[in-house]
Chains A and B, each alone.
Chain A
Amino acid sequence: MLDSISTFVARILPYGSASFSAVAALAKSVFFILLFTMPLAGILTWMERRQSAMMQDRVGPNRANIGRFTLWGIPHFVADALKMIFKEDFVPPQANKFLFALAPMLSVAPVLIASAIIPFGAPLCYGHMSETVALGTCVAPIELQAARLDAGLLFYFAIASLAVYGAALAGWASHNKWALMGGMRASSQMMSYEVTMGMAVMAMFLVYGTLEPGAMVNAQGDWPWQWGIVGIPQVIAFVLFLAAAIAESKRTPFDIPEGESEIVGYFVEYSGMRFGMFYLGEFVEVITSSALIVTVFFGGWRFPGAGALAASLPNALFVLASVLVWSLKVFLFCAFQLLIRWSLPRFRADQLLRLGWQRLLPISIANVVLAAGWILLRR
Protein backbone atom coordinates (compact mmCIF):
# COMPACT_ATOMS: atom_id res chain seq x y z
CA MET A 1 0.00 0.00 0.00
CA LEU A 2 2.84 2.35 0.87
CA ASP A 3 4.32 1.81 -2.58
CA SER A 4 1.00 2.55 -4.30
CA ILE A 5 0.85 5.83 -2.38
CA SER A 6 4.41 6.64 -3.33
CA THR A 7 3.74 5.87 -7.02
CA PHE A 8 0.72 8.19 -6.85
CA VAL A 9 2.83 10.88 -5.24
CA ALA A 10 5.58 10.25 -7.80
CA ARG A 11 3.15 11.09 -10.59
CA ILE A 12 2.43 14.53 -9.10
CA LEU A 13 5.81 15.23 -7.57
CA PRO A 14 8.61 13.40 -9.36
CA TYR A 15 11.32 12.28 -6.96
CA GLY A 16 14.39 14.49 -7.01
CA SER A 17 12.61 17.52 -8.47
CA ALA A 18 12.82 20.89 -6.74
CA SER A 19 9.12 20.83 -5.89
CA PHE A 20 9.51 17.37 -4.33
CA SER A 21 12.33 18.54 -2.04
CA ALA A 22 10.33 21.61 -1.11
CA VAL A 23 7.27 19.55 -0.17
CA ALA A 24 9.47 17.04 1.71
CA ALA A 25 11.19 19.83 3.67
CA LEU A 26 7.80 21.34 4.49
CA ALA A 27 6.47 17.97 5.65
CA LYS A 28 9.54 17.46 7.85
CA SER A 29 9.21 20.93 9.39
CA VAL A 30 5.52 20.35 10.03
CA PHE A 31 6.27 17.02 11.70
CA PHE A 32 9.04 18.47 13.81
CA ILE A 33 7.27 21.64 14.94
CA LEU A 34 3.55 20.82 14.93
CA LEU A 35 3.66 17.14 15.83
CA PHE A 36 6.67 17.00 18.11
CA THR A 37 8.00 20.26 19.55
CA MET A 38 4.75 22.12 20.21
CA PRO A 39 2.79 19.23 21.80
CA LEU A 40 5.84 18.23 23.85
CA ALA A 41 6.35 21.84 24.97
CA GLY A 42 2.72 21.92 26.04
CA ILE A 43 3.04 18.66 27.92
CA LEU A 44 6.26 19.87 29.54
CA THR A 45 4.39 22.83 31.08
CA TRP A 46 2.19 20.28 32.83
CA MET A 47 5.03 17.86 33.47
CA GLU A 48 7.16 20.50 35.13
CA ARG A 49 4.46 21.15 37.71
CA ARG A 50 3.62 17.49 38.17
CA GLN A 51 7.24 16.30 38.36
CA SER A 52 8.26 19.07 40.76
CA ALA A 53 5.27 18.19 42.92
CA MET A 54 6.29 14.54 43.06
CA MET A 55 9.86 15.54 43.90
CA GLN A 56 8.59 17.68 46.77
CA ASP A 57 6.15 15.09 48.17
CA ARG A 58 3.10 16.80 46.73
CA VAL A 59 0.56 15.57 44.18
CA GLY A 60 0.55 18.34 41.59
CA PRO A 61 -2.08 19.25 39.00
CA ASN A 62 -4.33 16.21 38.55
CA ARG A 63 -7.85 17.66 38.29
CA ALA A 64 -8.33 18.93 34.71
CA ASN A 65 -10.44 16.44 32.84
CA ILE A 66 -12.38 15.71 29.69
CA GLY A 67 -15.56 14.21 31.05
CA ARG A 68 -14.54 11.31 33.24
CA PHE A 69 -11.00 11.09 31.87
CA THR A 70 -8.42 12.95 33.92
CA LEU A 71 -5.39 11.30 32.23
CA TRP A 72 -3.28 12.07 35.34
CA GLY A 73 -4.04 15.76 34.71
CA ILE A 74 -2.48 16.10 31.27
CA PRO A 75 -5.44 18.26 30.01
CA HIS A 76 -4.12 20.96 32.35
CA PHE A 77 -1.97 22.37 29.57
CA VAL A 78 -5.03 22.76 27.34
CA ALA A 79 -6.84 24.51 30.20
CA ASP A 80 -3.82 26.78 30.75
CA ALA A 81 -3.67 27.71 27.07
CA LEU A 82 -7.41 28.48 27.01
CA LYS A 83 -7.01 30.62 30.11
CA MET A 84 -4.15 32.58 28.56
CA ILE A 85 -6.04 33.14 25.30
CA PHE A 86 -9.07 34.59 27.11
CA LYS A 87 -7.07 36.73 29.54
CA GLU A 88 -6.85 40.46 29.02
CA ASP A 89 -4.04 41.33 26.65
CA PHE A 90 -2.65 44.40 28.38
CA VAL A 91 -0.15 46.68 26.66
CA PRO A 92 1.39 49.43 28.82
CA PRO A 93 0.27 52.83 27.50
CA GLN A 94 3.82 54.13 27.01
CA ALA A 95 5.23 50.91 25.57
CA ASN A 96 6.59 50.73 22.05
CA LYS A 97 3.65 48.82 20.55
CA PHE A 98 5.51 47.28 17.62
CA LEU A 99 8.54 46.05 19.56
CA PHE A 100 6.29 44.96 22.43
CA ALA A 101 4.44 42.68 20.03
CA LEU A 102 7.63 41.54 18.29
CA ALA A 103 9.55 40.47 21.41
CA PRO A 104 7.57 37.30 22.29
CA MET A 105 7.77 36.14 18.69
CA LEU A 106 11.52 36.72 18.68
CA SER A 107 11.90 34.56 21.76
CA VAL A 108 10.14 31.55 20.19
CA ALA A 109 10.76 31.72 16.44
CA PRO A 110 14.60 31.58 16.36
CA VAL A 111 14.69 28.42 18.46
CA LEU A 112 12.15 26.73 16.20
CA ILE A 113 14.07 27.80 13.09
CA ALA A 114 17.36 26.62 14.56
CA SER A 115 15.89 23.19 15.29
CA ALA A 116 15.60 22.62 11.50
CA ILE A 117 19.08 21.09 11.41
CA ILE A 118 18.34 18.36 13.94
CA PRO A 119 18.00 14.84 12.44
CA PHE A 120 15.04 13.13 14.10
CA GLY A 121 15.11 9.66 12.55
CA ALA A 122 16.85 7.19 10.31
CA PRO A 123 16.98 8.14 6.61
CA LEU A 124 13.83 7.09 4.75
CA CYS A 125 14.53 5.04 1.63
CA TYR A 126 11.93 6.56 -0.68
CA GLY A 127 10.62 4.05 -3.21
CA HIS A 128 11.68 1.06 -1.08
CA MET A 129 9.56 1.81 1.96
CA SER A 130 7.93 -1.65 2.24
CA GLU A 131 11.19 -3.54 1.66
CA THR A 132 13.93 -4.19 4.19
CA VAL A 133 16.86 -1.89 3.57
CA ALA A 134 20.09 -2.43 5.51
CA LEU A 135 21.47 0.64 7.22
CA GLY A 136 23.55 2.86 4.96
CA THR A 137 22.82 0.98 1.74
CA CYS A 138 20.03 3.23 0.42
CA VAL A 139 21.18 5.12 -2.66
CA ALA A 140 19.39 8.47 -2.37
CA PRO A 141 17.42 8.46 0.93
CA ILE A 142 15.27 11.23 2.34
CA GLU A 143 17.16 12.43 5.40
CA LEU A 144 14.74 13.08 8.28
CA GLN A 145 16.21 16.51 8.84
CA ALA A 146 14.43 19.65 7.69
CA ALA A 147 17.64 21.34 6.50
CA ARG A 148 20.94 19.61 5.77
CA LEU A 149 23.50 22.42 5.96
CA ASP A 150 27.26 22.08 5.89
CA ALA A 151 27.42 24.91 8.42
CA GLY A 152 25.36 22.64 10.69
CA LEU A 153 25.68 23.59 14.33
CA LEU A 154 27.11 27.01 13.42
CA PHE A 155 23.70 27.74 11.84
CA TYR A 156 22.09 26.61 15.09
CA PHE A 157 24.19 28.99 17.19
CA ALA A 158 23.76 31.84 14.71
CA ILE A 159 19.97 31.62 14.71
CA ALA A 160 19.39 30.56 18.33
CA SER A 161 21.45 33.51 19.57
CA LEU A 162 18.81 35.80 18.03
CA ALA A 163 16.58 34.76 20.93
CA VAL A 164 18.52 37.22 23.09
CA TYR A 165 16.79 40.00 21.14
CA GLY A 166 13.46 38.65 22.36
CA ALA A 167 14.46 39.08 25.99
CA ALA A 168 16.26 42.40 25.52
CA LEU A 169 13.46 43.92 23.41
CA ALA A 170 10.79 42.73 25.84
CA GLY A 171 12.64 44.54 28.63
CA TRP A 172 13.16 47.68 26.59
CA ALA A 173 9.76 47.94 24.89
CA SER A 174 7.80 47.49 28.14
CA HIS A 175 8.72 51.01 29.33
CA ASN A 176 9.40 49.65 32.78
CA LYS A 177 12.71 50.10 34.57
CA TRP A 178 12.59 46.69 36.23
CA ALA A 179 11.75 44.98 32.96
CA LEU A 180 14.65 46.82 31.33
CA MET A 181 17.03 45.63 34.03
CA GLY A 182 15.69 42.09 33.63
CA GLY A 183 16.34 42.36 29.90
CA MET A 184 19.90 43.53 30.60
CA ARG A 185 20.47 40.57 32.92
CA ALA A 186 19.05 38.23 30.28
CA SER A 187 21.25 39.58 27.50
CA SER A 188 24.44 39.56 29.59
CA GLN A 189 23.75 36.00 30.69
CA MET A 190 22.81 34.64 27.28
CA MET A 191 25.79 36.24 25.57
CA SER A 192 28.22 34.92 28.20
CA TYR A 193 26.99 31.37 28.03
CA GLU A 194 26.78 31.25 24.24
CA VAL A 195 30.57 31.46 24.19
CA THR A 196 30.91 28.47 26.51
CA MET A 197 28.27 26.57 24.55
CA GLY A 198 30.14 27.11 21.30
CA MET A 199 33.51 26.20 22.81
CA ALA A 200 32.07 23.04 24.38
CA VAL A 201 30.78 21.88 21.01
CA MET A 202 34.08 22.88 19.40
CA ALA A 203 35.67 19.84 21.08
CA MET A 204 32.97 17.68 19.52
CA PHE A 205 33.66 19.25 16.10
CA LEU A 206 37.25 18.05 16.47
CA VAL A 207 36.15 14.57 17.50
CA TYR A 208 33.69 14.17 14.62
CA GLY A 209 35.56 16.22 12.03
CA THR A 210 32.28 17.73 10.84
CA LEU A 211 29.81 20.46 11.74
CA GLU A 212 26.81 18.69 10.26
CA PRO A 213 24.50 16.96 12.81
CA GLY A 214 23.36 14.29 10.34
CA ALA A 215 26.97 13.30 9.69
CA MET A 216 27.60 13.31 13.45
CA VAL A 217 24.80 10.78 13.95
CA ASN A 218 26.16 8.66 11.09
CA ALA A 219 29.59 8.69 12.76
CA GLN A 220 28.12 7.17 15.94
CA GLY A 221 27.27 3.50 16.38
CA ASP A 222 24.18 1.68 17.58
CA TRP A 223 25.49 0.66 20.99
CA PRO A 224 25.91 3.10 23.90
CA TRP A 225 29.71 2.62 23.97
CA GLN A 226 29.85 3.79 20.34
CA TRP A 227 28.05 7.05 21.09
CA GLY A 228 29.63 10.48 21.11
CA ILE A 229 29.72 10.79 24.90
CA VAL A 230 32.38 8.08 25.35
CA GLY A 231 35.78 9.61 26.08
CA ILE A 232 37.23 12.07 28.59
CA PRO A 233 37.01 15.31 26.54
CA GLN A 234 33.55 14.33 25.35
CA VAL A 235 32.23 13.91 28.90
CA ILE A 236 33.66 17.30 29.88
CA ALA A 237 32.12 18.82 26.75
CA PHE A 238 28.78 17.26 27.67
CA VAL A 239 28.76 18.73 31.19
CA LEU A 240 29.79 22.16 29.90
CA PHE A 241 27.24 22.05 27.11
CA LEU A 242 24.46 20.99 29.46
CA ALA A 243 25.25 23.81 31.90
CA ALA A 244 25.43 26.37 29.09
CA ALA A 245 22.24 25.08 27.48
CA ILE A 246 20.32 25.44 30.76
CA ALA A 247 21.74 28.95 31.14
CA GLU A 248 20.64 29.73 27.57
CA SER A 249 17.08 28.69 28.32
CA LYS A 250 17.12 30.98 31.40
CA ARG A 251 15.87 28.34 33.81
CA THR A 252 16.88 27.65 37.41
CA PRO A 253 19.70 27.58 38.55
CA PHE A 254 20.39 30.30 35.96
CA ASP A 255 17.04 32.10 36.08
CA ILE A 256 18.07 35.53 37.33
CA PRO A 257 16.66 37.29 34.22
CA GLU A 258 13.11 36.37 35.19
CA GLY A 259 13.28 34.74 38.63
CA GLU A 260 9.67 33.65 38.74
CA SER A 261 8.70 34.78 42.22
CA GLU A 262 11.55 36.87 43.60
CA ILE A 263 13.00 39.11 40.89
CA VAL A 264 10.98 41.21 38.48
CA GLY A 265 11.87 39.84 35.08
CA TYR A 266 11.89 41.19 31.55
CA PHE A 267 8.35 39.99 30.78
CA VAL A 268 6.76 41.57 33.86
CA GLU A 269 4.46 43.74 31.69
CA TYR A 270 3.28 40.84 29.55
CA SER A 271 -0.04 39.11 30.07
CA GLY A 272 -2.25 36.61 28.33
CA MET A 273 -0.92 34.70 25.35
CA ARG A 274 2.03 37.07 24.88
CA PHE A 275 3.31 35.90 28.24
CA GLY A 276 2.35 32.39 27.16
CA MET A 277 4.73 32.67 24.22
CA PHE A 278 7.66 33.50 26.52
CA TYR A 279 6.63 30.60 28.71
CA LEU A 280 6.33 28.26 25.74
CA GLY A 281 9.58 29.54 24.27
CA GLU A 282 11.36 28.48 27.44
CA PHE A 283 10.14 24.91 27.01
CA VAL A 284 10.85 24.92 23.28
CA GLU A 285 14.42 25.80 24.20
CA VAL A 286 14.50 22.91 26.66
CA ILE A 287 13.36 20.53 23.91
CA THR A 288 15.75 21.88 21.29
CA SER A 289 18.75 21.77 23.60
CA SER A 290 17.79 18.23 24.64
CA ALA A 291 17.51 17.27 20.96
CA LEU A 292 20.94 18.76 20.31
CA ILE A 293 22.45 16.89 23.27
CA VAL A 294 20.90 13.65 22.02
CA THR A 295 22.21 14.30 18.50
CA VAL A 296 25.76 15.23 19.46
CA PHE A 297 26.40 13.07 22.52
CA PHE A 298 23.86 10.24 22.64
CA GLY A 299 23.67 8.77 19.16
CA GLY A 300 20.67 10.66 17.77
CA TRP A 301 18.05 8.15 16.63
CA ARG A 302 20.46 5.19 17.00
CA PHE A 303 19.59 2.49 19.52
CA PRO A 304 21.01 -0.94 20.44
CA GLY A 305 20.08 -3.47 17.78
CA ALA A 306 19.16 -0.88 15.14
CA GLY A 307 21.29 -2.58 12.50
CA ALA A 308 19.63 -5.95 13.06
CA LEU A 309 16.16 -4.37 13.15
CA ALA A 310 16.76 -2.52 9.89
CA ALA A 311 17.54 -5.83 8.21
CA SER A 312 14.33 -7.47 9.43
CA LEU A 313 11.65 -4.74 9.29
CA PRO A 314 10.16 -2.86 6.32
CA ASN A 315 12.00 0.41 5.89
CA ALA A 316 8.99 2.60 6.76
CA LEU A 317 8.41 0.74 10.06
CA PHE A 318 12.08 0.88 10.94
CA VAL A 319 12.15 4.64 10.34
CA LEU A 320 9.06 4.98 12.52
CA ALA A 321 10.79 2.99 15.28
CA SER A 322 13.89 5.19 15.01
CA VAL A 323 11.76 8.35 15.28
CA LEU A 324 10.08 6.94 18.38
CA VAL A 325 13.42 6.05 19.97
CA TRP A 326 14.73 9.53 19.19
CA SER A 327 11.58 11.10 20.72
CA LEU A 328 12.01 8.97 23.84
CA LYS A 329 15.64 10.03 24.23
CA VAL A 330 14.74 13.71 23.85
CA PHE A 331 11.89 13.29 26.32
CA LEU A 332 14.21 11.70 28.89
CA PHE A 333 16.64 14.61 28.58
CA CYS A 334 13.76 17.07 28.98
CA ALA A 335 12.79 15.22 32.17
CA PHE A 336 16.43 15.38 33.31
CA GLN A 337 16.50 19.14 32.74
CA LEU A 338 13.30 19.49 34.79
CA LEU A 339 14.95 17.40 37.53
CA ILE A 340 17.91 19.80 37.57
CA ARG A 341 15.61 22.83 37.53
CA TRP A 342 13.76 21.66 40.65
CA SER A 343 16.84 20.47 42.56
CA LEU A 344 19.32 23.34 42.44
CA PRO A 345 19.11 26.79 44.03
CA ARG A 346 19.49 29.94 41.96
CA PHE A 347 22.86 31.62 41.34
CA ARG A 348 23.38 35.29 42.16
CA ALA A 349 23.99 37.50 39.11
CA ASP A 350 27.69 38.04 39.84
CA GLN A 351 28.22 34.36 40.72
CA LEU A 352 26.57 33.43 37.46
CA LEU A 353 28.82 35.63 35.33
CA ARG A 354 31.90 34.54 37.30
CA LEU A 355 30.98 30.91 36.73
CA GLY A 356 30.49 31.58 33.04
CA TRP A 357 33.58 33.65 32.27
CA GLN A 358 36.10 32.47 34.90
CA ARG A 359 35.26 28.78 35.28
CA LEU A 360 33.31 27.31 32.37
CA LEU A 361 34.95 29.29 29.54
CA PRO A 362 38.60 28.47 30.50
CA ILE A 363 37.64 24.85 31.06
CA SER A 364 35.92 24.69 27.68
CA ILE A 365 38.95 26.21 25.91
CA ALA A 366 41.26 23.78 27.73
CA ASN A 367 38.89 21.01 26.69
CA VAL A 368 39.35 21.88 23.01
CA VAL A 369 43.11 21.40 23.48
CA LEU A 370 42.49 18.19 25.41
CA ALA A 371 40.23 16.91 22.65
CA ALA A 372 42.91 17.63 20.04
CA GLY A 373 45.47 15.69 22.12
CA TRP A 374 42.96 12.88 22.67
CA ILE A 375 42.39 12.50 18.93
CA LEU A 376 46.15 12.54 18.30
CA LEU A 377 46.73 9.81 20.91
CA ARG A 378 43.90 7.60 19.65
CA ARG A 379 44.97 7.76 16.04
Chain B
Amino acid sequence: MGTTVKTVERPAGIRRKTYLIAILEGLWVTFRHLMKNWIGNTLGRRAKTDIATLSYPEQKKVYPERNRGLHRLMKRDDGEVRCVACMMCPTVCPAHCITIVPEEAPDGSIEKRPRIFEIDELRCVVCGLCVEACPCDAIRMDTGVHAWPTIRRADAILDKEALLSRGDASTATQGGVGPFWREKVKS
Protein backbone atom coordinates (compact mmCIF):
# COMPACT_ATOMS: atom_id res chain seq x y z
CA MET B 1 0.00 0.00 0.00
CA GLY B 2 1.64 3.18 -1.16
CA THR B 3 1.28 6.54 0.48
CA THR B 4 -0.67 9.22 -1.30
CA VAL B 5 0.39 12.83 -1.39
CA LYS B 6 -2.17 15.57 -1.28
CA THR B 7 -0.85 18.97 -2.26
CA VAL B 8 -2.56 21.80 -0.45
CA GLU B 9 -2.64 25.04 -2.42
CA ARG B 10 -0.98 27.94 -0.67
CA PRO B 11 -3.07 31.11 -0.41
CA ALA B 12 -2.54 33.17 -3.55
CA GLY B 13 -2.65 36.91 -4.08
CA ILE B 14 -0.88 39.71 -2.27
CA ARG B 15 -3.88 40.28 0.00
CA ARG B 16 -3.70 36.75 1.41
CA LYS B 17 0.08 36.48 1.35
CA THR B 18 0.81 39.53 3.44
CA TYR B 19 -1.51 38.27 6.22
CA LEU B 20 -2.07 41.88 7.27
CA ILE B 21 -5.68 42.22 6.10
CA ALA B 22 -6.54 38.78 7.46
CA ILE B 23 -4.90 39.63 10.78
CA LEU B 24 -6.92 42.84 11.02
CA GLU B 25 -10.12 40.94 10.21
CA GLY B 26 -9.31 38.42 12.94
CA LEU B 27 -8.49 41.13 15.45
CA TRP B 28 -11.80 42.83 14.65
CA VAL B 29 -13.73 39.62 15.36
CA THR B 30 -12.05 39.04 18.72
CA PHE B 31 -12.32 42.73 19.61
CA ARG B 32 -16.05 42.69 18.90
CA HIS B 33 -16.53 39.67 21.17
CA LEU B 34 -14.37 41.25 23.89
CA MET B 35 -16.32 44.51 23.85
CA LYS B 36 -19.75 42.86 23.74
CA ASN B 37 -18.97 40.48 26.60
CA TRP B 38 -17.03 42.96 28.67
CA ILE B 39 -19.63 45.73 28.52
CA GLY B 40 -22.54 43.34 29.03
CA ASN B 41 -20.81 41.59 31.93
CA THR B 42 -19.79 44.84 33.63
CA LEU B 43 -23.33 46.20 33.40
CA GLY B 44 -24.57 42.94 34.91
CA ARG B 45 -26.65 42.05 31.85
CA ARG B 46 -25.29 38.61 31.11
CA ALA B 47 -28.23 37.90 28.81
CA LYS B 48 -27.00 40.52 26.33
CA THR B 49 -23.60 38.79 25.99
CA ASP B 50 -22.39 35.66 24.24
CA ILE B 51 -20.94 34.23 27.47
CA ALA B 52 -21.83 30.56 27.77
CA THR B 53 -20.19 29.95 31.16
CA LEU B 54 -22.41 28.75 34.01
CA SER B 55 -21.22 30.07 37.40
CA TYR B 56 -21.53 26.62 38.92
CA PRO B 57 -22.24 26.72 42.63
CA GLU B 58 -24.63 29.65 42.18
CA GLN B 59 -26.25 28.51 38.95
CA LYS B 60 -27.00 24.85 38.43
CA LYS B 61 -28.01 23.15 35.26
CA VAL B 62 -31.21 21.11 35.55
CA TYR B 63 -30.41 17.52 34.68
CA PRO B 64 -32.59 15.67 32.16
CA GLU B 65 -35.28 13.42 33.61
CA ARG B 66 -33.54 10.16 32.76
CA ASN B 67 -30.21 11.23 34.29
CA ARG B 68 -28.80 8.49 36.53
CA GLY B 69 -27.87 10.00 39.87
CA LEU B 70 -27.19 8.67 43.36
CA HIS B 71 -29.04 5.46 44.28
CA ARG B 72 -32.01 5.35 46.60
CA LEU B 73 -34.02 2.52 48.16
CA MET B 74 -37.81 2.65 47.83
CA LYS B 75 -40.19 2.05 50.72
CA ARG B 76 -43.23 -0.10 51.21
CA ASP B 77 -46.57 1.35 52.35
CA ASP B 78 -45.58 0.77 56.00
CA GLY B 79 -42.24 2.57 55.55
CA GLU B 80 -40.13 -0.60 55.55
CA VAL B 81 -37.57 -1.24 52.80
CA ARG B 82 -39.07 -2.69 49.61
CA CYS B 83 -35.99 -4.76 48.85
CA VAL B 84 -36.49 -8.51 49.34
CA ALA B 85 -32.74 -9.33 49.18
CA CYS B 86 -33.14 -11.40 46.02
CA MET B 87 -29.47 -10.63 45.15
CA MET B 88 -30.28 -9.67 41.56
CA CYS B 89 -28.49 -6.32 41.72
CA PRO B 90 -25.18 -7.50 43.25
CA THR B 91 -25.18 -10.30 40.67
CA VAL B 92 -25.64 -8.03 37.68
CA CYS B 93 -23.46 -5.20 38.98
CA PRO B 94 -20.34 -5.04 36.78
CA ALA B 95 -18.39 -3.07 39.39
CA HIS B 96 -19.30 -5.27 42.39
CA CYS B 97 -20.22 -2.22 44.38
CA ILE B 98 -23.40 -3.56 46.06
CA THR B 99 -23.15 -5.56 49.28
CA ILE B 100 -26.32 -7.25 50.60
CA VAL B 101 -26.52 -9.37 53.74
CA PRO B 102 -30.05 -10.85 53.90
CA GLU B 103 -32.01 -11.78 56.99
CA GLU B 104 -35.36 -13.35 57.64
CA ALA B 105 -38.19 -10.88 57.58
CA PRO B 106 -40.50 -10.80 60.61
CA ASP B 107 -43.38 -10.21 58.20
CA GLY B 108 -44.52 -13.61 56.91
CA SER B 109 -45.68 -12.35 53.53
CA ILE B 110 -42.11 -11.79 52.34
CA GLU B 111 -39.38 -14.22 53.15
CA LYS B 112 -36.22 -12.05 53.18
CA ARG B 113 -35.13 -8.50 53.66
CA PRO B 114 -31.65 -6.93 53.64
CA ARG B 115 -29.98 -6.60 57.03
CA ILE B 116 -27.12 -4.72 55.39
CA PHE B 117 -27.48 -2.92 52.05
CA GLU B 118 -24.39 -0.94 51.10
CA ILE B 119 -23.37 0.72 47.83
CA ASP B 120 -19.82 1.89 47.33
CA GLU B 121 -20.37 5.05 45.27
CA LEU B 122 -16.65 5.21 44.46
CA ARG B 123 -16.82 1.83 42.69
CA CYS B 124 -20.20 2.42 41.05
CA VAL B 125 -19.93 3.02 37.30
CA VAL B 126 -23.45 4.51 37.15
CA CYS B 127 -24.56 1.99 34.49
CA GLY B 128 -28.07 1.57 35.89
CA LEU B 129 -28.10 -2.24 35.51
CA CYS B 130 -29.15 -2.69 39.16
CA VAL B 131 -32.27 -0.65 38.49
CA GLU B 132 -33.06 -2.72 35.43
CA ALA B 133 -32.48 -5.99 37.27
CA CYS B 134 -34.60 -5.17 40.31
CA PRO B 135 -37.85 -7.18 40.12
CA CYS B 136 -39.71 -5.16 42.72
CA ASP B 137 -38.83 -1.50 42.05
CA ALA B 138 -36.75 -1.31 45.23
CA ILE B 139 -33.66 0.47 43.87
CA ARG B 140 -33.77 3.56 41.73
CA MET B 141 -31.22 6.07 40.42
CA ASP B 142 -33.54 8.99 39.78
CA THR B 143 -32.41 11.34 42.58
CA GLY B 144 -30.69 13.82 40.25
CA VAL B 145 -27.85 14.08 42.79
CA HIS B 146 -24.39 12.97 41.76
CA ALA B 147 -21.88 11.34 44.08
CA TRP B 148 -20.30 14.06 46.20
CA PRO B 149 -16.63 14.34 47.09
CA THR B 150 -15.66 12.92 50.47
CA ILE B 151 -12.52 13.25 52.55
CA ARG B 152 -12.43 9.58 53.61
CA ARG B 153 -13.20 6.77 51.21
CA ALA B 154 -15.45 5.15 53.82
CA ASP B 155 -17.74 8.16 53.63
CA ALA B 156 -18.59 7.30 50.02
CA ILE B 157 -20.13 3.96 51.05
CA LEU B 158 -23.87 4.54 51.49
CA ASP B 159 -25.64 2.23 53.94
CA LYS B 160 -29.29 1.23 54.07
CA GLU B 161 -30.37 4.23 56.17
CA ALA B 162 -28.67 6.71 53.86
CA LEU B 163 -30.19 5.05 50.80
CA LEU B 164 -33.63 4.98 52.43
CA SER B 165 -33.45 8.61 53.48
CA ARG B 166 -33.99 9.62 49.87
CA GLY B 167 -36.53 6.83 49.40
CA ASP B 168 -40.20 7.09 48.60
CA ALA B 169 -43.25 4.87 48.42
CA SER B 170 -43.48 3.01 45.14
CA THR B 171 -46.70 2.81 43.19
CA ALA B 172 -45.96 -0.76 42.09
CA THR B 173 -47.82 -3.53 43.96
CA GLN B 174 -45.56 -5.28 46.45
CA GLY B 175 -44.91 -8.87 45.44
CA GLY B 176 -46.64 -8.43 42.08
CA VAL B 177 -50.01 -9.95 41.31
CA GLY B 178 -48.87 -13.51 40.56
CA PRO B 179 -48.48 -15.61 37.40
CA PHE B 180 -52.17 -15.41 36.46
CA TRP B 181 -52.43 -11.64 36.69
CA ARG B 182 -54.28 -11.36 33.37
CA GLU B 183 -57.24 -13.33 34.76
CA LYS B 184 -57.09 -11.40 38.02
CA VAL B 185 -57.23 -8.04 36.24
CA LYS B 186 -60.23 -9.21 34.15
CA SER B 187 -62.23 -10.30 37.17
Question: Once the chains bind, are A59 and B51 in contact (CB under 8 Å)?
Answer: yes
Question: Once the chains bind, are A51 and B34 in contact (CB under 8 Å)?
Answer: yes
A-B contact pairs, 12 of them (CB 8 A): A54-B33, A54-B37, A54-B51, A55-B34, A57-B49, A58-B51, A59-B53, A72-B42, A339-B27, A343-B27, A344-B23, A344-B26
A-B contacts counted at CB < 8 A amount to 43
A54 to B31, CA, bound (A): 9
> A residues within 8 Å of B by Cβ?
51, 54-59, 72, 239, 339-340, 342-344
Quick one: given A54-B38, A57-B50, A57-B52, are A339 and B30 in contact (CB under 8 Å)? yes
B171 contacts chain A at the CB level, 8 A cutoff: no
| Residue in A54, A56, A58, A239 with the greatest tally of chain B CB atoms within 10 Å | A54
The 9 tightest CB contacts between A and B, nearest first, are A59-B53, A54-B37, A57-B50, A343-B30, A55-B30, A55-B34, A343-B26, A54-B34, A54-B38
Q: Which residue of A lies closest to B32 (CB)?
A: A55
What residues on B are CB-neighbors of A239 within 8 Å?
20
CB distance from A59 to the nearest CB of B (A): 4
CB distance from B59 to the nearest CB of A (A): 11
- Known A54-B51, A57-B51, A343-B29; further 19 A-B contacts with Cβ < 8 A: A54-B33, A54-B37, A54-B38, A54-B41, A55-B34, A55-B37, A57-B33, A57-B49, A57-B52, A57-B53, A59-B53, A59-B55, A72-B42, A239-B20, A339-B27, A339-B30, A339-B34, A340-B27, A343-B26
A299 to B22, CA, bound (A): 28
CB distance from B82 to the nearest CB of A (A): 44
A59 to B42, CA, bound (A): 11
A36 to B50, CA, bound (A): 34
What residues on A are CB-neighbors of B51 within 8 Å?
54, 57-59
CB distance from B11 to the nearest CB of A (A): 13
What residues on A are CB-neighbors of B37 within 8 Å?
54-55, 57
What residues on B are CB-neighbors of A339 within 8 Å?
27, 30-31, 34
CB distance from B24 to the nearest CB of A (A): 10
CB distance from B186 to the nearest CB of A (A): 61
CB distance from B70 to the nearest CB of A (A): 27
Quick one: given A54-B33, A239-B20, are A59 and B41 in contact (CB under 8 Å)? yes
What residues on A are CB-neighbors of B50 within 8 Å?
57
CB distance from B61 to the nearest CB of A (A): 15
